[in-house]
Amino acid sequence: MIEVNQLTKSFGPRRALVGIDLCVAPGECVVLCGPNGAGKTTLLRILATLARPTSGTVRIAGVDTAKAGADARMKIGFLSHRTLLYDDLTAEQNLAFYARMYAIPDAQTRIDALLERVELTARRHDLVRTYSRGMQQRLAVARAVLHRPPLVLLDEPYTGLDPLAADALTALLTDLTGEGGTLLLTSHNLQTDVTLNRRVVVLNRGRIVYDAPHADAATFPALYRELVGGEAVSPRHPATNSQQPVSSNQQPTTNNQQPTTNNQHPNFFRQVWAIVAKDIAAELHTREIFSAMFVFAVLALLIFSFALDLRGALAQTAAPGVLWATIAFAGTLGLSRSMAREQQTGGIEGLLLAPIDRAAIFFGKALGNLALMLAVEIVLIPLATVMFDVAFLRGGVLLTVLLGTVAYAAVGTLLAAIAVHTRAREVMLPILLLPLLIPLLITAVKATGVLLEGATWAEIGGWGQILVVYNLLIIAVALLTFGYVIEE
């Protein structure tokens, strides 16, 4: 199921993994342990295709992850440190969203069955943010196995769970192996039921220093301390041992019940729409972004009116600038929050785990942001019309607003995805975004001004061309580079 050959991963001059060779047979359950910083999470993230190795190869169910990442992702379920669930969606909405990402046939039946199995049927319509840690972890397991992956990777699945929740998780994982699934989990606790009698691989300083079944709970902790306390040594048991699957009762697992993967790749446009619908659903539950953008926009209009004393001919001249400055500031606020919401819950990581084209993620996020900005503008433009007594509600102006907003949403989505990973992310987005937008804003303001003077769209000449060229360039750049921004 897993074939890792001479895998190395470096972060700058630091080598996190060095010459890892690992084979895990179908139906096997392997526990990966080691001290903090040993490279466990890095290894799991490479196996899950979330990080790329510096050198070496990884094959999942015979598929080379470097060559056919989407095919490999269909075969992998991953439970990360984070639940990768959206707090502002219900349990059912979360699973339905991921079901669309994986194009799961008869999704509702699968969701019903999984919710029943993780004992969350009664709370299926509650927002995830109201769940306890244990409930969220159970739902996260349901998310990880939703598409029936033959391989499930679990990174510290017991972290933060109380004993009862840990027992429930153990039962769930035991069921998974009983059904023929392959498990690779990291754990610090070598005494759990899941760990005992399993094959244990110990990583230390990026190297495998032990690879054998763990049968003796009394002596293993001492051996473990010796392994990770001293210098890196050769594996006690060669990795070839791993070709012998070890189940909970030391017997090879029958593969009759092996999970069957849905091999049909999801449709690009359905995935885009699923992301847009997910963002809109989350916003409908909270209304936090729209409310903040709208109130901020109204405040900006009022402050500009007071500060510039906009009346009569002056209002006619200054109104386009005021409108676009308001759109720019309110948009920045919304974009920042929208991507932060995705980042806080690990949503982007969840999307990267799915067999989805990076362009679909970009389009989905950008269209979601565009919908939010347009929703604010639908209220803002009539309001500005009334406040400044300026005829914004005409075809050419609205087309300019639409084109400007599309460009804004495209470049804003790209830069918001960058800004969320920076220190002082709240101030970094406007610093990155506004200089890039200034040519657009100058053009949009000038075009709006000319149109308000009575010109038609065809008569604004170069302004319209710049607006269109800016849109094309920025969307092309965002499409080509967004994948690099969101990858780990």
Q: Quick one: 46 or 139, whose CB is closer to other proteins?
A: 46
Stretch that binds other proteins, among 95-103, 106-114, 261-269, 430-438 (CB under 8 A): 430-438
- Cα separation, 365 vs 410, in Å, equals 9
The structure tokens listed for 419 are 């800004």
CB of 434 to other proteins, least distance (A): 8
- Please give the residues from 46 up to 65 whose contact with other proteins meets the rule CB under 8 A: 52
- Please give the residues from 440 up to 469 whose contact with other proteins meets the rule CB under 8 A: 442, 462, 465-466, 469
Binding status of residue 422 toward other proteins by CB under 8 A: yes
Q: Looking at the DSSP assignment, which residues form a beta bridge with residue 212?
A: 200
Binding status of residue 295 toward other proteins by CB under 8 A: no
CB of 58 to other proteins, least distance (A): 17
Q: Quick one: 8 or 385, whose CB is closer to other proteins?
A: 8
Binding status of residue 11 toward other proteins by CB under 8 A: yes
CB of 413 to other proteins, least distance (A): 12
Stretch that binds other proteins, among 55-63, 196-204, 265-273, 429-437 (CB under 8 A): 429-437
Binding status of residue 229 toward other proteins by CB under 8 A: no
Binding status of residue 439 toward other proteins by CB under 8 A: yes
Q: Quick one: 20 or 440, whose CB is closer to other proteins?
A: 440
The structure tokens listed for 180 are 């023929």
Q: Considering only residues 68, 280, 436, 455, which one is a binding residue for other proteins as defined by CB under 8 A?
A: 436
CB of 462 to other proteins, least distance (A): 4
- Cα separation, 293 vs 298, in Å, equals 9
Measuring CA to CA, which residue among 151, 143, 215 is closest to residue 180? 151
Binding status of residue 474 toward other proteins by CB under 8 A: yes
CB of 362 to other proteins, least distance (A): 12
Measuring CA to CA, which residue among 2, 488, 7, 1 is closest to residue 207? 7
Binding status of residue 487 toward other proteins by CB under 8 A: yes
**Residues ≥6 apart with Cβ < 8 Å to 144:** 77, 78, 79, 152, 154
Q: Quick one: 167 or 226, whose CB is closer to other proteins?
A: 226
Binding status of residue 432 toward other proteins by CB under 8 A: yes
Binding status of residue 481 toward other proteins by CB under 8 A: yes
Fill in the DSSP letter of residue 453. Answer: T
Instruction: Decide: 72 and 63 in contact? Cβ < 8 Å.
Output: yes
In the block, tokens 């800016």 appear at 470
What is the Cβ-side half-sphere exposure of residue 312, based on CA atoms within 13 angstroms? 1
Binding status of residue 231 toward other proteins by CB under 8 A: no
Q: Considering only residues 113, 302, 303, 473, which one is a binding residue for other proteins as defined by CB under 8 A?
A: 473
The structure tokens listed for 262 are 């849905």
The structure tokens listed for 360 are 């679909």
- Cα separation, 118 vs 51, in Å, equals 29
**Residues ≥6 apart with Cβ < 8 Å to 401:** 327, 377, 381, 444, 448
Among left, alpha and beta (phi > 0; psi -120 to 50; other), residue 27 is left
- Cα separation, 438 vs 474, in Å, equals 13
Binding status of residue 146 toward other proteins by CB under 8 A: no
Measuring CA to CA, which residue among 109, 111, 115 is closest to residue 98? 111
CB of 324 to other proteins, least distance (A): 15
Q: Considering only residues 22, 44, 403, 411, which one is a binding residue for other proteins as defined by CB under 8 A?
A: 411
- Cα separation, 12 vs 147, in Å, equals 35
CB of 419 to other proteins, least distance (A): 9
Among left, alpha and beta (phi > 0; psi -120 to 50; other), residue 156 is left
The DSSP element (H or E) to which 383 belongs, if any, is: helix 358-388
Stretch that binds other proteins, among 179-187, 257-265, 306-314, 477-485 (CB under 8 A): 477-485
- The residues that touch other proteins, with contacts defined as CB under 8 A, are 11-14, 52, 411, 414-415, 418, 421-424, 428, 431-432, 434-436, 438-439, 442, 462, 465-466, 469-470, 473-474, 477-478, 481, 484-485, 487
